[in-house]
Amino acid sequence: MRDTEMSGRRGDSRFSRLSIVIALSASALLSVVGPAHAAPVKDPLPADIPDYQAALDAVKSTDVRNAVCRFLLTPVPADGTGGQVQTLPDTAEPCRDLPAFTIKDPVARNEITPGFVAGTAKPLPTEAIKLTQLVSSLSITVNGRNATVMLAPTQGGGWHLAAVRDGDSDATYASKATLGTLVFTEPQIRGWYQLKLTTVEPLNDEARQGLGGQASMSLSDYQKLVKARYADKLPGSEYDTNGYSSGYSPQHEADGAADSTLLLAGASSAALALTGGAVFFRRRRRLSTR
């Protein structure tokens, strides 16, 4: 009996981290599994990320590396709040004169879901949190700068480069996820949180402010907060029809206007452009409720 249980626990390593969070939540709530029976669970691969090998191939590709180098070679726009676009240098070997660096393995960037915000989804990890992007940072600072590589899912499977932006905060916070916990962002306020069982804890000042200064709160109470903040700003609302989709308003964008972002308008390097973070987040984020 003991061996069977231990074997089953090892098999959990193939499940997603999200599934483990749910299992742990159920155990805590129903009190059906005692700590004496818990076995160490290994998580050697990020099984919660689909097509992860494609993501690894993307961040290690020459095209992505060259895009990062072009980004690092281009000065940050002096006026981060403006919409002026700088064309990146289309050199044959953009990395040649830069220090050697690697792009770290990508990690999951999770966000709260529209259904959770609207209050139509239950306050459960599978309903509240959704994987939207993958993020990677650089192994070292290059010319005093770090950068975040952002991957978006490709239709039909796989991942592709969506943007490169200054700083590494997204990757730093996203990498704080551990076995049995989830890390997610409330992007409207740039808040980062950790979900332990069904308890939400802030990871940065924006998140602490988002929780009203509390050190933690239940997922159901957190849902009430975000519903009050954004439920009237979801697609189809008056807020949305005025051009501010899914709660991403110019005021929130201005909070990160000092950031610079490399936008990918097409497949060729000539299509790359550097612009202020406000323009990057001004794109319409049509989120459909499930």
pLDDT band at 12 (very low <50, low <70, confident <90, very high): very low
Residue ranges of E strands in the chain = 86-87, 107-112, 129-137, 147-153, 159-166, 181-186, 191-196, 199-202, 217-218, 260-264, 272-276
What is the spatial distance between Cα 121 and Cα 19, in angstroms, rounded to a whole number? 17
DSSP alpha helix (H) spans, 1-111: 2-11, 17-30, 52-59, 62-73
* Rounded-to-integer distance, Cα 248 and Cα 284, Å: 8
Amino acid letter for position 257: A
User: Which of 46, 18, 285 minimizes the C-alpha distance to 125?
Assistant: 18
Task: Please provide the average confidence, as pLDDT, over all residues in the chain.
Answer: 73
- Give ∠ CA 158-150-99 in degrees, rounded to 5: 115
∠ CA 44-48-54, nearest 5°, is 85
pLDDT value, residue 242:
53
pLDDT band at 9 (very low <50, low <70, confident <90, very high): very low
Neighbour order of strands in the sheet with 147-153: 86-87, 272-276, 260-264, 159-166, 147-153, 129-137, 107-112, 181-186, 191-196, 199-202, 217-218
Task: Give the tokens for residue 77.
Answer: 């726009």
Distance between CA atoms of residues 235 and 88, nearest Å: 34
Question: Looking at per-residue confidence, does 24 or 100 come out higher?
Answer: 100
* pLDDT score, position 74: 84
Work out whether the CA dihedral 119, 153, 151, 270 comes out positive or negative.
negative
Query: Could you tell me how far CA 250 lies from the centroid of its own chain?
Result: 20
What's the pLDDT tens digit per position in 79-101? Answer: 554 455 556 666 778 999 899 99
From the CB of residue 224, how many other CB atoms can be counted at a distance below 10 Å? 13
Q: What is the pLDDT of residues 142-186, one digit of tens each?
A: 988 999 999 999 999 999 999 999 999 999 999 999 888 999 999
pLDDT value at 43 more than 70: no
What region does 25 belong to: left with phi over 0, alpha with psi -120 to 50, or beta?
Answer: alpha
Give the pLDDT of residue 131. Answer: 95
CA distance 290 to 197: 23
pLDDT of residue 260: 61
Predicted confidence (pLDDT) per residue in 225-283, tens digit = 999 998 877 655 544 445 554 443 333 333 343 456 655 433 333 344 444 432 232 33
The length of the chain is 290
* Low-confidence winner among 30-39, 48-57, 164-173 (lowest mean pLDDT): 30-39
Residue-level pLDDT at 16: 47
Above pLDDT 70, what percent of the chain? 59
Q: What is the pLDDT of residues 118-146, one digit of tens each?
A: 999 999 999 999 999 999 999 999 988 99
CA distance 174 to 105: 12
Rounded CA-CA distance 235/113 in Å is: 12
